[in-house]
């Protein structure tokens, strides 16, 4: 018990327990041990945080965007000086490999603040001239923002919202996932260390119903940016819509990886494997359905299985580890239930299908599923169309581009996808026919932070990223002056 960390809310520049003094337990995915306790906040704690954020808004909004960009830079510097700590905490809290936590989570969290600082410095309001008048667009803060984030990329996704929210003059109440609270608390420490004006950034820990829902329905919260599952997003949308809050929903995905007959299999294989299993397949953008041209189906499957079956699954703190543990026992059980369903639906498990063999004793109580490849399922089966969000991919042959597009679009989700081909023109044309917010051709998760990010269909509403974030986190007001 001595190593169990007790985390607090950060409200109005103070560290506070939940008013009800109840706690939520946070477990290590790798070995199932208790690692932290967080406040089980309720609407009273949310009220206090929203009040603090409301009181801080005027002074913060009165700064120039360049001054707020300087604050983001300060936050980035302070976060960068603690990058290894961020990586260690993220790996401990999520079960992801430490190398991934360093190269993706820690690095990108700093990059998010630096990127939006730069966006702020370059920011220019538009002028639209008429023959007899000038229109000047002014970007005003929206007010108090409620930022709700999931467990798969905790600080990466939180910083992606906090940075543009602060830049555009808003104040923040953040509600991170109760399963991965640690780096949100570290971010609050950073805000305190850099002496960000009190009340500008507030952190409320807790679960979705007790702490998240009161934030989405709070009358003094003007904007909700939510990243999480589609079913939760539906509840968030209902709750936020009655108060006409600005709303962005980044939701689930079931993304297709399309391999055309002319793809260079040797060259692309490491990227396809990465797209399938990064973060144990717990990235909303992961390609969990691989569609392969029938002429290369057998050779692709052989090469894919050779790489996948050699992946190193285990101790997240080991630099050699490629796949860690799943986030929770419940999530492991959900993933396993889909593997069982796949067998009922007529699928063949080509590799994986359960906990890895030979996991060291120290990790026996962790939540493990080895990388699993399933063949033989109909493309419209439940396993091939519902989000599993784990290390599970299904394989499907197609005969021509039309059929590949038809299968890719055979799901209610529409977040991302990738196409692999030596004919980049054909790949680009095919990309336009995929119903999703983002399509990569011959790459995956190759991110330029200036581009729009978001989903169509059940994968979300709205876009964030670059100027789309600046637009979302502000109110564009037009002032028309007659000459
Ligand atoms: P989740 O929906 O269970 O929880 C997300 C957050 O919402 C958590 O902080 C949770 O406490 C909170 N929450 C739960 N119920 C709530 C309610 N009624 N009102 C307000 N807040 C509530 O999602 P998760 O399991 O943490 O994350 C996995 C999901 O997130 C997957 O579906 C994945 O695809 C999705 N995701 C999407 C993106 C994207 O950019 N589209 C990125 C990462 C993850």
**DSSP assignment of 342-390:** HHHTT-EEEE--SSPTT--GGGTTS-----EEEES--TTSHHHHS---S
Rounded Cα gap, residues 220 and 236, in angstroms: 16
CA of 100 to the centre of ligand 1 (A): 21
Q: How many CB atoms lie within 10 A of CB 425?
A: 9
Contact 140, 169 (CB under 8 A): yes
pLDDT < 70: residue spans in the chain = 1-2
Catalytic residues: 250, 284
Maximum distance among all alpha carbons in the chain? Answer: 78
Say which DSSP state 363 is in.
Answer: G
Mean of all residue pLDDT scores within the chain: 97
Category of 201 on φ-ψ map: left (φ > 0), alpha (ψ -120 to 50) or beta = beta
- 178, 208, 453: residue to mutate for ligand 1 pocket, most atoms within 8 A of CB: 208
Residue 200's nearest CA partner among 167, 223, 154 is 167
Alpha helices in 357-482 (DSSP H): 382-385, 401-408, 424-433, 466-472
Rounded Cα gap, residues 329 and 36, in angstroms: 17
Using CA positions, which residue lies closest to atom 42 of ligand 1? 284
Contact 271, 441 (CB under 8 A): no
Torsion, Cα 446 452 456 462, to 10 degrees, reads: 140
Rounded Cα gap, residues 451 and 98, in angstroms: 28
CA of 150 to the centre of ligand 1 (A): 4
Rounded Cα gap, residues 438 and 441, in angstroms: 10
Sheet containing strand 392-398, edge to edge, reads 348-351, 372-375, 392-398, 287-293, 255-259, 416-420, 438-441
Rounded Cα gap, residues 273 and 253, in angstroms: 18
Contact 312, 321 (CB under 8 A): yes
Rounded Cα gap, residues 189 and 197, in angstroms: 13
Give the CATH architecture of domain 5-251+459-482.
3-Layer(aba) Sandwich (3.40)
Using CA positions, which residue lies closest to atom 20 of ligand 1? 212
Q: What pLDDT does 46 receive?
A: 98
Question: Helices 65-80 and 182-193 meet at what angle, rounded to 10?
Answer: 120
Tokens 């797209």 -> residue: 275
Residue 400 to residues 143, 258, 262, 303, Cα–Cα distance (Å): 50, 11, 12, 22
Enclosing H/E stretch for 129: strand 127-129
Residue 323's nearest CA partner among 30, 11, 123, 4 is 30
Tokens of 260: 């055309």
Q: Is 251 in the pocket of ligand 1 (CB under 6 A)?
A: yes
CA of 99 to the centre of ligand 1 (A): 24
Question: Helices 154-167 and 182-193 meet at what angle, rounded to 10?
Answer: 40
Total residues found in the chain within this entry: 483
Tokens of 201: 């950034």
Tokens 């630096």 -> residue: 114
Give the CATH number of domain 256-448.
3.40.309.10
Chain mean position to CA 168: 21
The distance in angstroms from the start CA to the end CA of the chain is 72
Find residue 292's DSSP bridge partners: 259, 397
Q: Burial level of 207, CB count in 10 A (0-12/13-18/19+)?
A: middle
Q: What pLDDT does 125 receive?
A: 87
Contact 398, 387 (CB under 8 A): no
Helix (H, G, I), strand (E, B) or coil at 218: coil
Rounded Cα gap, residues 249 and 237, in angstroms: 8
Q: Is 150 in the pocket of ligand 1 (CB under 6 A)?
A: yes
Residues of the chain with CATH 3.40.309.10: 256-448
Q: Is 387 in the pocket of ligand 1 (CB under 6 A)?
A: yes
Rounded Cα gap, residues 94 and 472, in angstroms: 29
Find residue 418's DSSP bridge partners: 257, 440
Residues of the chain with CATH 3.40.605.10: 5-251+459-482
- From the alpha carbon of 148, which atom of ligand 1 is closest? 9
Tokens of 81: 């000086």
Say which DSSP state 57 is in.
Answer: H
- The reply to whether the predicted model has a pTM over 0.95 is yes
Helix (H, G, I), strand (E, B) or coil at 373: strand
Alpha helices in 225-315 (DSSP H): 230-241, 265-277, 297-309
Which pLDDT tens digit goes with each residue over 278-308? 999 999 999 999 999 999 999 999 999 999 9
């Amino acid at each position: 018990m001595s190593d169990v960390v007790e985390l607090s809310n950060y409200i109005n520049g103070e560290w506070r327990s939940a008013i009800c003094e109840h706690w939520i337990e946070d477990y290590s995915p790798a070995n199932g041990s208790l690692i932290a306790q967080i406040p089980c906040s309720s609407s009273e704690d949310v009220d206090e945080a929203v009040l603090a954020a409301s009181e801080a808004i005027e002074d913060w909004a009165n700064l120039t965007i360049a001054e707020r960009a300087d604050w983001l830079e300060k936050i980035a510097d302070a976060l960068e000086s603690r990058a290894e700590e961020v990586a260690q905490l993220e790996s401990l809290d999520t079960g992801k490999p430490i190398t991934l936590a360093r190269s993706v989570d820690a690095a990108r969290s700093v990059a998010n603040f630096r990127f939006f600082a730069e966006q702020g410095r370059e920011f220019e309001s538009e002028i639209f001239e008429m023959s007899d008048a000038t229109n000047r667009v002014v970007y005003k803060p929206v007010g108090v923002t409620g930022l709700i984030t999931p467990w798969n990329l905790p600080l990466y996704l939180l910083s992606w919202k906090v940075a543009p929210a602060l830049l555009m003059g808003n104040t923040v109440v953040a509600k991170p996932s109760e399963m991965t609270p640690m780096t949100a608390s570290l971010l609050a420490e950073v805000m305190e260390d850099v002496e960000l004006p009190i009340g500008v950034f507030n952190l409320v820990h807790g679960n979705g119903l007790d702490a998240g829902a009161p934030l989405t329905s709070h009358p003094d919260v003007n904007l909700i940016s939510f990243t999480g599952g589609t079913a939760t997003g539906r509840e968030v949308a209902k709750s936020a819509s009655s108060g006409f809050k600005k709303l962005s929903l980044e939701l689930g995905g079931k993304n297709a990886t399309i391999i055309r007959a002319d793809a260079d299999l040797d060259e692309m294989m490491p990227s396809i494997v990465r797209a399938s299993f990064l973060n144990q397949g717990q990235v909303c953008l992961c390609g969990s359905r691989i569609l392969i041209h029938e002429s290369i189906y057998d050779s692709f499957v052989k090469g894919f299985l050779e790489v996948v079956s050699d992946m190193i699954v285990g101790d997240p703190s080991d630099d050699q580890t490629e796949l860690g543990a799943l986030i929770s026992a419940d999530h492991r059980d959900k993933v396993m239930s889909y593997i069982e369903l796949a067998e009922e639906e007529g699928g063949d498990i080509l590799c994986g299908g359960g906990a890895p063999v030979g996991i060291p004793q120290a990790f026996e109580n962790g939540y493990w599923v080895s990388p699993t490849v399933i063949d033989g399922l109909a493309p419209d089966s439940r396993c091939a169309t519902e989000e599993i969000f784990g290390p599970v991919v299904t394989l499907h042959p197609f005969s021509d581009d039309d059929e590949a597009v038809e299968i890719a679009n055979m799901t209610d989700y529409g977040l991302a996808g990738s196409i692999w081909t030596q004919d980049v023109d054909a790949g680009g044309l095919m990309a336009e026919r995929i119903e999703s917010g983002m399509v990569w051709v011959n790459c995956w998760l190759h991110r330029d932070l200036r581009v729009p990010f978001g989903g169509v269909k059940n994968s979300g509403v709205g876009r964030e990223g670059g100027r789309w974030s600046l637009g979302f986190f502000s109110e564009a007001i037009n002032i028309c002056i007659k000459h």
